[in-house]
Structure 1
Amino acid sequence: MTHIITSLCLRDGGCVTVCPVECIVPGKPQDKYPWFYIDPDTCIDCGACVPECPYAAIFPEDEVPSAYVARGGERQSMPVGTPGFTEIYDGVNHDGEPVHLEATRTLKAGEVVDLTPDIAKNYEYFKEGPGYSAAG
């Protein structure tokens, strides 16, 4: 089992800093892989990353919500070109460095979002994407 970083991720990077096995990487290219991703073959399921995320975007794989109820104001990020994700996010990460995401949307209070498709996206990143490692 692994932890999953969901589409609520806005690339803060605090999770990377606390990971004892260095299994969390930023998606590249960012326009296609806008989140951070956890290598399922390396993750030891310690959960150190969970409280470090200011966006509450990280869940144990078996607890990723299929009906996440937004408090309001959270943002979801998707690959550039995803329908409905037209807002630009400009913020700063854990180290004070700028973060610019091209395809986000702001969730309304009470809006219900299925975050479970993000599980497959994490695995796909390491199977097919730049995060793929032949060692796994």
Structure 2
Amino acid sequence: MPHVITSLCLRDGGCATVCPVECIVPGKPTDKYPTFYIDPETCIDCDACVAECPWNAIFTEDEVPSAYTAKGGEYLSMPKGTPGFSEVFNGKNHDGDPVHLESTRKLTAGEVVDLTPAIEANASFFKDGPGYKAAG
């Protein structure tokens, strides 16, 4: 079962570094594709990315929670212009480089959110988005 990176992703990038088959790519442009994405056809389900993610944003496709209960302090990152996502996240990635995301929202303890839209977002990124690979 391929893995999916949910909107809890804050572009750390360590997942891509540890992936043995290089199936994880950053979304570009960042304002339209704010997370990293996993190519489901290349993923070998080794779980290396899951252990590496500091945001606990990666799940197998069949385990992406439809009712994720926040511990408090997590951020959700969405494409720029998503209603209700107007906070700015500034941090550093796995390599110490700055991360600037303009469309985030900080979760409060006990808040329940649906992370399953990431399944379709990941699939469409590789079906007809910038992760699309033309045949031939």
After TM superposition, is the score higher than 0.5? yes
Distance (Å, rounded) in 1 between the aligned partners of 2:115 and 2:66: 6
What secondary structure does 1:80 align onto? coil
Q: What secondary structure is seen at the aligned counterpart in 2 of 1:101?
A: strand
CA RMSD of aligned residues (A): 1.0
**Secondary structure of the equivalent of 1:15?**
helix
- Residues in 1 aligned to 2:102 and 2:128: alpha-carbon distance in whole angstroms: 22
Which residue number in structure 2 is paired with residue 106 of structure 1?
106
- Alpha-carbon offset, residue 135 of structure 1: 4.5
Look up the match of 1:27: 27
Larger deviation: 87-96 or 126-135? 126-135
Normalised by the length of structure 1, the TM-score is 0.98
- Equivalent position of 1:11 in the other structure: 11
The equivalent residue for 1:75 is 75
- Find the aligned partners of 2:36 and 2:7 in 1 and give their Cα distance: 9
Equivalent position SS for 2:49: coil
Identical-residue share of aligned pairs (%): 76
| Structure 1 residue 134 displacement after superposition | 2.1
1:90 aligns with 2:90: yes
What are the ranges of 5 or more consecutive residues in structure 2 without an aligned counterpart? none
- Deviation digits for residues 22-56 of structure 1 (CA, Å, limit 9, x no counterpart): 00000011100000000011101111100100000
1:129 shift after superposition: 1.0
Give the aligned partner of residue 66 of structure 2: 66
**Contiguous gaps of at least 5 residues in structure 1:** none
1:118 equivalent in structure 2: 118
The runs of at least 4 aligned residues of structure 1 exceeding 2 Å deviation read none
Structure 1 equivalent of residue 47 of structure 2: 47
